[in-house]
Structure 1
């Protein structure tokens, strides 16, 4: 019995000894692997840090500079094809002309009407031209106001055109030669003041000739020759006409909820009707000779803005637009108190005003834009010094 017990104890102890031997062998191998890894890391450290360190010390260079992040010297955030930033500047007079009515930009000149001479009743009795390069202003010396206010100024080269308007309705269209300092009468009108559009030597406007009749006029400001292009018999009303060097456009309502585009194209000394079919919802079209922009709603306080190039299928530019205009290579519009520029030859739109400001578009022509910054406008302030800013849109 004792022998049997002795054999049983020997049989149990042999596996335990084998297990201990295996554990010891594992830790020996693990230590060997760690030692090899440590040696390899040391070798790599010498290669990557030791040799360069010795090299830097030999050259007398601060070793810490070797591992600083490198910055490309010519790094720029500007990407190829992205339009340049549009910079706005203020037309400033140190409260000399607090009222700056309907500023209109032409090249490096801005024209506006103002209260040049103060009286018992506030009136717009002066016309000012401002040079955006020199910052100098000029009050036109030989203007003669027959009625209440000078309004709606436009400019092309050395010829300015504006209205001498009666508050009760009626007035006259005046021209002014800036070189000769000479005013001349273009036409009298008896009803609502016409909206003027001037491009090159051509002045275009719609004039009411009664309660239900309108006439479309084109006037050459150089030769001072008028022409009646079309007489509209009883109509529900046409939009203002807009003219460029190569065409002019307007919209005609039929009284049944439809409003369609009308267009006249200029060919040297001739002109002909050349309509584009944009459907029955065309209001307030404007042209630069290549693109036509218009809204699809009669209400202009919040509208959808559309644009067509060369008479092609119109594309939508924006919703919720308050007002708009067109320049040589852009459409400018205001929306929720901000001014935006949409380029006509690229899929880019630039936001040119700050979200912290409130702005209203005044005019656009050529490469220039004029707008009011109304951030500080107060209805409680009897003396209002209007802030007018202007910007030039670069070529894309």
Structure 2
């Protein structure tokens, strides 16, 4: 019995010693982890309670540094002065469009306006003379504007306008469907019907006012419009058997020469910036596959289900599902320019600029007549 009591006494002595050692160790650890930082905080004048609060990293970001920068859109605003803004075309800091100036019961596009995106000021071209029904299809290059004076039933004339001299001049009359105009630098290009089965490809120098017939197509089923850059121009030729092939002319210093690229037999609506060529593979523009080639290389697919498209210096702009997209040509990035809650339609792209319609209000019962035109500039990548 005595031996059992001695053993229990020794057990409690050892247990108390262990608890004492553990307490001393815990105290030392508490001094290390809390005492020293507490003294440090008191010395620095920092509230000790803030040391153990959750922290938020100030520099934390989900953005990729290599991702393309956001593109900012602005509205071309006139306080309802020009409600109709027909076919706005952007060239540098200027946007040209045709509109109705004289109010009346009959809607006619009888004015041409140039809008300065930097100052927000507009200029109604003062010395235009409308001979037929409507001014349509305006384009701009530097100080020269070109547009059509078009008859509703077909026919009309191509007009030029010197912005410095405030002077209109006639480039050419046409008798059938209105030609689509493309301008770059001093060169204006267009494909014109000369009969029911004949088309002519023209290049016109807007500085010297000299025309040249580049090509005559007879017994044709219809070629695409021509698109021109400072170093080349492209169009597509159909053979009536379901084939459509690319045609290209490259400009040198003093001459020009045919320099065809073989992109197959399904090339429609080609456009060029001098380096890249973009085209669709279907004749139907309501929904098409968009392809792009760089310097004649193997074309690659940009997008499907595209409604309309155009090309700038370093990007392709296209509309799809009511949204505007920008695909950079020297990278693999594509940016959605517009917001999902809006409905939009591409108007033009040229140089570093994009112009498009915001048609959100037109999709409602309270649609307004005033057309909303937005523009944006694409930064270099």
Range class of TM-score, shorter chain? over 0.9
Distance 2:301 2:50 in 1: 54
Question: Of 135, 142, 157, which residue of structure 1 is paired with 2:120?
Answer: 135
Name the counterpart of 2:327.
342
Whether 1:108 and 2:87 are equivalent positions in the alignment is: no
What corresponds to 1:288 in structure 2?
A: 273
For 2:227, the equivalent position in structure 1 comes to 242
Q: Secondary structure at the match of 1:377?
A: helix
Correspondences of 1:53-64 after superposition (within 5 Å): 53-64=38-49
Aligned pair in 2 of structure 1 residues 226, 305: CA closer, same or farther (>3 Å)?
same
SS of the equivalent of 2:123 reads strand
Higher Rg of the two aligned structures? 1
For residues 30 and 273 of structure 2, what CA distance do their matches in structure 1 show? 69
The question of 1:177 aligning with 2:162 is answered yes
Residues 160, 170 of structure 2: 8 Å contact kept: yes
Structure 1 stretch displaced more, 79-88 or 221-230 = 79-88
Q: 2:105 aligns with which of 110, 114, 120?
A: 120
Corresponding residue for residue 66 of structure 1:
51
Deviations 1:61-96 (A, max 9, x none): 211233345566666555333221100000011110
Change (3 A) 1:342 1:31: farther
- Secondary structure of 2:176's aligned partner: coil
Partners of 1:281 and 1:29 in 2: CA distance: 94
Matched, 1:231 2:212: no
Q: Describe the SS at the equivalent of 1:297.
A: coil
CA distance 1:278–1:30, change in 2 (3 Å): farther
Is contact 2:246-2:263 (8 Å) kept? yes
Q: Structure 1: how far apart are the matches of 2:27 and 2:59?
A: 38
Match of 1:333 among 308, 318, 324: 318
The separation in 1 between residues aligned to 2:18 and 2:319, in whole angstroms, is 72
The 1:55–1:151 alpha-carbon spacing in structure 2 relative to 1, beyond 3 Å, is same
Q: Secondary structure of 2:179's partner? A: coil
Gap runs ≥5 in structure 2: none
Counting only pairs closer than 5 Å after superposition, residues 1-396 of structure 1 correspond to structure 2 as 39-68=24-53, 78-377=63-362, 384-396=369-381
Deviations 1:135-163 (A, max 9, x none): 00010000000000000000000000000
Contact preservation (8 Å) 2:201, 2:216:
yes
| Counterparts in 2 of 1:268 and 1:120: CA distance versus 1, 3 Å | same
The 3 A distance-change label for structure 1 pair 209 and 45 is same
In the alignment of these two chains, the number of paired residues is 375
Q: For 1:268, what is the secondary structure of its paired residue? A: coil
Q: Deviations over 1:148-188 (max 9, x none)?
A: 00000000000000000000000000000001000000000
Q: TM-score, normalised by structure 2?
A: 0.93
In structure 1, stretches of 5+ residues that fail to align are 1-17
State the TM-score, normalizing by the size of structure 1. 0.90
Q: Over the residues paired in the alignment, what is the CA RMSD in angstroms?
A: 2.3
